[in-house]
Amino acid sequence: MDDREIVKRISEIIGSDKTADDCAKIIVGDKILAVSTDMLHEKTDFPKGITDWQIGWMSAAVTISDIASTGAKPVSLLLAAGLDNPDRIEDIIRGADSACRKYGAEFSGGDVDSHSELTIVTTGIGITDSEHYVSRTGAKPGEIVCVCGNLGHAQAGLLGDMRYFKDLCEPQPKVFEGMRLSECKVSCMMDISDGLAISLFDLSDANNCGFEIDKNLVSLSDGIDFETAFYGGGDFGLLYTCQKSLFEENNLPGLKLGVVTEKKGVRISGKNAEKRGYSHTWN
């Protein structure tokens, strides 16, 4: 079983509207709160060689990235830490607080207790207004699909390319880009933290549409191959769809990858893509 199957089971209890997006959407007066929570563990989520400051940064960044994908402005972050060693907390807090400051959020406190394996859960709250909230649904055939952010950097860092190790440990959520994209009313958006390929499949499922990706449009950084860029996880870019004219007239951040199609699934220059990426599994 993997986490996508678990989410399916949960959606049968609480409703699929509650599990479809990375953020919960909560209405407060004329504002919308985008709220997201993420759990990370030392062994499964933090790469070897990462510092405690970077663990704090990364923990904040994963949640801030979920908020960015709705176009909301991050305002507050809470952090719960299960600590194997209490001396680690100060650097973790400093790292999380730095990420909050960079993206305009307040580090608002949290909870600590002792635990055998370092475990961190961050919960972030973003604010936007109802006309600018962007969800995973809204893609329409004929639109273009675009990505904003580097591809494969984190995966390359994980595979040992030290030029990209900092990209792996200090991911940079696309908060300001997300706010710009929501102002311009892109059709749908999500972050690509589990990998570009699996995120395209997620959007395909959410929108009952497909994607035809032009392999030549997938931008490759120095030393990074297509496999790493397309299937690797840990980069915090934003994947979105919109009308081609909207993209061009507003000079939207990011690059075009291909087009939205009626037929479900993901194709790369005509061939079916593999549905794989980052996923938690239970054996």
- Annotated binding residues, written as ranges, equal 22, 36-38, 45, 66, 110-111, 136, 191, 193-194, 278
- 76 near a second copy, judged by CB under 8 A: yes
Q: In 10 A of CB 266, how many CB atoms? A: 25
- Angstrom distance (rounded) from CA 251 to CA 33: 27
Which residue among 52, 97, 143, 202 contacts a second copy (CB under 8 A)?
A: 97
- 52 near a second copy, judged by CB under 8 A: no
Tokens of 92: 């973790």
Report the SS3 class of residue 224: coil
Which residue among 121, 151, 188, 192 contacts a second copy (CB under 8 A)?
A: 121
Least distance (Å) between residue 283 CB and a second copy: 9
Least distance (Å) between residue 237 CB and a second copy: 20
- List, in order, residues 6 or more apart from 164 with CB less than 8 Å away: 153, 154, 156, 157, 221, 224
- 108 near a second copy, judged by CB under 8 A: yes
- 102 near a second copy, judged by CB under 8 A: no
Least distance (Å) between residue 35 CB and a second copy: 6
Amino acid at 28: V
* Cβ–Cβ < 8 Å for 31, 129: yes
- Annotated binding residues for substrate, written as ranges, equal 45, 278
- 190 near a second copy, judged by CB under 8 A: no
- 37 near a second copy, judged by CB under 8 A: yes
- List, in order, residues 6 or more apart from 212 with CB less than 8 Å away: 258, 259, 261, 267, 270
Site string for a second copy, 9-28 (x = CB under 8 A): xx--xx---xx----x-x-x
Least distance (Å) between residue 110 CB and a second copy: 5
Which residue among 51, 80, 185, 275 contacts a second copy (CB under 8 A)?
A: 80
Of 54, 270, 271, 236, nearest to 155 by C-alpha is 236
Least distance (Å) between residue 96 CB and a second copy: 9
Least distance (Å) between residue 23 CB and a second copy: 8
* Cβ–Cβ < 8 Å for 68, 32: no
- Angstrom distance (rounded) from CA 64 to CA 179: 12
Question: What single string gives the DSSP state of each residue in 4-45?
Answer: HHHHHHHHHHH-GGGTSSSSEEEEETTEEEEEEEEEEEHHHH
- 50 near a second copy, judged by CB under 8 A: no
At residue 242's C-alpha, the angle toward residues 239 and 244, to 5°, is: 120
Chain residues that interact with a second copy, rule: CB under 8 A = 1, 3, 5-7, 9-10, 13-14, 18-19, 24, 26, 28-31, 33, 35-39, 41, 44, 75-76, 78-83, 85-86, 89-90, 93-94, 97, 106-117, 119, 121, 123, 125, 127, 280-282
